[in-house]
Structure 1
Amino acid sequence: MSQQKCACPKCKCSVDNHSIEKDGQRYCCQSCANGHADGSGDCGHDCQCGESAN
Structure 2
Amino acid sequence: MSQQQCACPKCDCSVDSQAIEKNGQRYCCEACAIGHTDGSTDCGHNCQCGK
Q: TM-score range by the shorter chain?
A: over 0.9
Aligned residues: 51
RMSD: 0.8
Gaps of 5+ in 1: none
Gaps of 5+ in 2: none
Q: Could you tell me the TM-score, scaled by structure 1's length?
A: 0.88
Runs of 4+ in 1 over 3 A off after TM superposition: none
The 1-side partners of 2:16 and 2:48 are apart by 20
Amino acid at match of 1:15: V
Work out which of the two has the higher radius of gyration on C-alpha atoms and give 1 or 2: 1
Percent sequence identity is 75
